[in-house]
A and B are shown apart, each in its own frame.
Chain A
Amino acid sequence: MKTAVIRFPASNCDRDAAVALEKITGRPTEIVWHRETSLPDDIDFVVIPGGFSYGDYLRAGAIAARSPIVKDIVRRAGKGLTVAGFCNGFQILTEAGLLPGALIRNRNLKFVCRPERLIVQNTKSRFTSKYTAKSEVIYPVAHHDGNYFADDATLNRLEKNNQVLFRYADNPNGSIRDIAGIMNETGNVFGMMPHPERAVDPVHGGTDGLDFFKSIIESI
């Protein structure tokens, strides 16, 4: 499987994502600069990493969503490419319209960084197939604007289609219906605020993120 990680000027989890992907796939990961207008043709899986893309002085992810490379990601996602965004990557995916809803400021208006318990909601996705249903996993969170919000109609549709893949056990940011991670209707684009790439090495304090990446490898 061939993977790529997008690098915006102030991405700061790009290396972390690449390290995790290379560890799990055993192959080098392509780092793609934000000004590129197209992804390499043979890419199977793209990660939009965490960070502050363009400083997030405007809405988090708003400028990145309009960058040349994201235009191509939107195009390729429409053709079924597997895409995952973590943290700022999730914000960018919602800003780009690939995922519904928005990430607003945390309920207590403060940055929060801690290991967070998540409950896997749906194991019939290419992102979660290695997990058992309703299992609990721990991924760290680290964000200021991670409070997921969408209107009731959107939320009901997400739930009806089993697009909610992870919920928080102890909601750290006020996300509506405890939603931590969602996929799109066609099941090839996923976004979440927690960081699975920060849970793939015993040094991280846990390796629950490994099965996330392994699920993707197996399903592609």
Chain B
Amino acid sequence: MAKNKSEITPEVVAEHGLSTQEYQIILDRLGRKPNINELGIFSVMWSEHCSYKSSRRHLAKFLTKGTRVIQGPGENAGVIDIDDGDAIIFKMESHNHPSYIEPYQGAATGVGGIMRDVFTMGARPIALMNALRFGEPTHWKTKQLVNGVVAGIAGYGNCVGVPTVGGETNFHKGYNGNILVNAMCVGLARTDNVFYSAAKGVGNPIFYVGSKTGRDGIHGATMASAEFDDDSEEKRPTVQVGDPFTEKLLIEACLELMATDAIIAIQDMGAAGLTSSSIEMADKGGVGIALNLDKVPQREDNMTAYEMMLSESQERMLMVIQPGKEQLAFDVFQKWELDVAQIGKTTDTGRLVLKHHGKKVCDIPIAPLADDAPNYDRPHSKAPARDIIKSKDVFETQDYNDALVKIITSPNIASKRWIWEQYDRHVMTDTVDSSQSGGDAAIVRIHGSNKAVAITTDCTPRYVEADPYEGGKQVVAETWRNLTCVGADPIAITDCLNFGNPERPEIMGQFVGAIEGMNEACHAFDYPVVSGNVSLYNETNGQAIPPTPAVGGVGLIQKIDHMATLSGAKEGDTLILIGETSGWLGASIYLSEIQSSEDGAPPPVDLEVEKLNGNYVRSLIRNRRVHAVHDCSDGGLAITACEMAFSSNIGVHLDAAKNIPTHGWLFGEDQARYLLAVEEHSVNPIVSTAKGKGIAAQVIGKVGGERISAEGAFDVSLNGLRDKHESWLPELMNSTVKDAAE
């Protein structure tokens, strides 16, 4: 890859993913032809991945401010205030393209990258989450991808010693050629010790810390900004390799140095490595940067300037150090046996100047890289609205026992124990609740206190596909509901917007519609977006993924003894359903599993009702009026009740439907609903108070025994059904799926 002698031909420009118009802007700004290093730098900075050129104008619509927001989008991660001088710093990010090509390393480095975004800002990572989307279970590549991705997440997070406390995993044929690996990290900092990336001052030393720079991951950001085809496997060399041991050392060393006043600014080297980190720091601080590339710790011989600037070697940080504190910085990093070098300084030129072997190999103005980055208003078209399907028009199963088993063992409902048992969920010993309970949100105690954060990741792509706007609302509402279910005050979200090729108007239409729906929900709940990432071009051979705007929500539990989970239901408890049930079967799991159809409009989300119902449920939890709470989502009331029964290890009985068809009652996916298990004597006060507030609340069953039953529908043993629920994924992973490529 000795490209630094290359001629800049139109082919070279095109290989760098730059359009002729984009190249013309570079020529205008420089007043000359760029050399290959400069072209490479413009190319990655203006890639979709780094510049958000198709999405920026739409992201700008999001609600990003709130009373608890310390830092919204634009930094490495979002920062919120959780009282007592504590701040929570969090973000979710995609690592889709690398994970499809090399699942173990792709997923591992996804986890590593998102952790760096969080500790770069001064936070100790305290929890990891993920949102995974794979192809059909029967697709020949799926098992291998599940194996690799899960092992990669486990291998990285477990070693670094941050608990992976929750997440979600879906399977759908729409991801056969493009899996999604979205990783989220939540960290804890002090509000008065948050670190930012803006380089300040002139003549200040720039330090490079962490792994040596190698040739891995060159042009990863460009790869993540293009579609796949059948030859995508050939891109494997652009996937980075993770080293969680070095990450752990970096965390400890950075946090140790952050406890002093040595660091002016800090930025991790993520996508586009040394290029984007140095340019972002300089741009935000309004300064120039001069680097001597000979000083960069290098893993391989004879690396060119081009390779060093575009390498995405992992576990590297760039920082501006307070003059006079250089020795302190060296001492801390050397204590942790990390490579460290002073590779340059800040300047007043406003330019990025690189020297290599004594020669100037790059000299470009920094402002245009950011200010003139393309910002496209891509055409977008709305898909026609789908018909609303009434439950009375949907085939009603004649065998509810069979339907229940089919749904409970369906890929998106079956237990994901096989996955989460590979994640260390308990290290740091502050995990209050995790995937282990199957609950709505993970709960992690703030170390040394009696408060906790609740964390959830959610998305229902089939709803977004059916109606981007309603689906977008639903994604945000579901995270809000999940946090509410454990008694938390929802505070803010991070998002990971995974879509297909934005140059196609129908894909852009999904993107714009989903953002508008999400944003409406953010406003309704006063629930801002504080960080996020966009992953476009998730297409293979022209086939786009289902639109998947995954959302990570974070809430605060003021006192851990004022929380709830789904596992507290007790013998003799009464089941109360909060929220209206119309029996909505459009775009439901029932329809897809029993009728093999994905038709119909998704359930509408009434945000005012969501708020009313959710706030009421939260107040009941705070007043300790409920034993167990679970939100009604995929699979409807029946699946919600089963999950509560499994987790509480006790049977449930559901009453018969009133005025709606039985399948709609049991499997309808109406929104804004919660299932509560409460003591007998609490029933009347809860129902009558709800009525007074205009909230639908009805007694719908009992807790007890060892069977799961619904009047006039199903009756199965708790243990038998649980075994089936638990065994689907292990059986899949132990089975031999025929390799279609053979």
Contacts and interface: CB of A to CB of B under 8 A. Distances in A.
Interface of A: 9-13, 15-16, 19-20, 50-52, 54-57, 110-114, 140, 142, 144, 195, 197-198, 201, 203-204
B158 A142 contact: yes
B421 A113 contact: yes
B429 interface: yes
Given A52-B245, A54-B245, A57-B245, A12 B429 contact: no
B429 A112 contact: no
B429 A204 contact: yes
A76 B736 CA distance: 53
A8 B422 CA distance: 24
B159 A142 contact: no
A113 B426 contact: yes
B161 A10 contact: yes
Nearest to A114: B421
B116 interface: no
Interface string B473-493: 000000000000000000000
A184 B722 CA distance: 42
B653 interface: no
Given A10-B245, A16-B427, A111 B445 contact: no
Contact of B248 (A12, A19, A142, A198): A12
Nearest to B417: A114
A114 B422 CA distance: 9
Contact of B427 (A13, A20, A55, A201): A13
A166 to B, nearest CB: 18
B151 interface: yes
Nearest to B160: A12
B425 interface: yes
A198 to B, nearest CB: 5
A185 B426 CA distance: 32
A140 B431 CA distance: 12
Contact of B432 (A20, A50, A55, A203): A203
B525 to A, nearest CB: 28
Nearest to A203: B432
Interface of B: 151, 154-155, 158-161, 243-246, 248-249, 252, 336-337, 420-432, 436, 445, 560
23 contacts: A9-B337, A10-B159, A10-B160, A10-B249, A12-B160, A13-B427, A16-B427, A50-B427, A52-B245, A110-B151, A111-B154, A111-B158, A111-B423, A111-B424, A113-B424, A113-B426, A114-B421, A142-B158, A142-B425, A197-B429, A203-B432, A204-B426, A204-B429
B381 to A, nearest CB: 46
A203 B430 contact: yes
B155 to A, nearest CB: 8
B159 A201 contact: no
Contacts of B430: 203
Closest 7 CB pairs of A and B: A12-B161, A55-B245, A142-B424, A10-B248, A16-B429, A52-B159, A111-B422
Q: Which of A113, A142, A201, A203 has the most CB of B within 10 A?
A: A113
A108 B445 CA distance: 32
A55 B159 contact: yes
Nearest to B161: A12
A9 B245 contact: yes
Given A51-B161, A142-B425, 7 more contacts: A9-B248, A52-B159, A110-B154, A111-B424, A113-B158, A140-B426, A142-B426
Contacts of B422: 110-113
A142 B158 CA distance: 9
Contact of B244 (A20, A52, A142): A52
Given A10-B249, A13-B427, A112-B421, A56 B159 contact: yes
A9 B249 contact: yes
Q: Which of B155, B159, B249 has the most CB of A within 10 A?
A: B159
Contact of B336 (A9, A13, A16, A56): A9
A112 B154 CA distance: 10
A137 B426 CA distance: 17
A111 B158 CA distance: 9
A131 B243 CA distance: 41
Contacts of A12: 159-161, 248, 427-428
Contacts of B431: 203-204
B157 to A, nearest CB: 10
B337 A15 contact: no
Nearest to B448: A19
A144 B427 CA distance: 14
B161 A13 contact: yes
Contacts of B445: 203
A112 to B, nearest CB: 6
A142 B560 contact: no
A20 to B, nearest CB: 8
A73 to B, nearest CB: 21
Q: Which of B155, B424, B436 has the most CB of A within 10 A?
A: B424
Given A110-B151, A113-B423, A114-B421, A55 B429 contact: no
Nearest to A10: B248
Q: Which of A15, A57, A203 has the most CB of B within 10 A?
A: A203
A205 to B, nearest CB: 8
A198 B425 CA distance: 11
Contacts of B158: 111, 113, 142, 144
Given A19-B429, A111-B424, A52 B248 contact: yes
Contacts of B432: 203
A158 B338 CA distance: 42
Nearest to B155: A111
A111 to B, nearest CB: 5
A133 to B, nearest CB: 28
A110 B153 CA distance: 12
A158 B94 CA distance: 50
B299 to A, nearest CB: 16
A112 B423 CA distance: 7
Contacts of A111: 151, 154-155, 158, 422-424
A202 B428 CA distance: 15
Contacts of A201: 429
Contacts of A15: 428
Contact of A55 (B244, B252, B336, B424): B244
Contacts of A198: 426, 429
A50 B424 CA distance: 12
Contacts of A204: 426, 429, 431
B662 to A, nearest CB: 37
Contacts of B425: 113, 142
Contacts of A113: 158, 420-426
Nearest to B420: A113
A20 B426 CA distance: 14
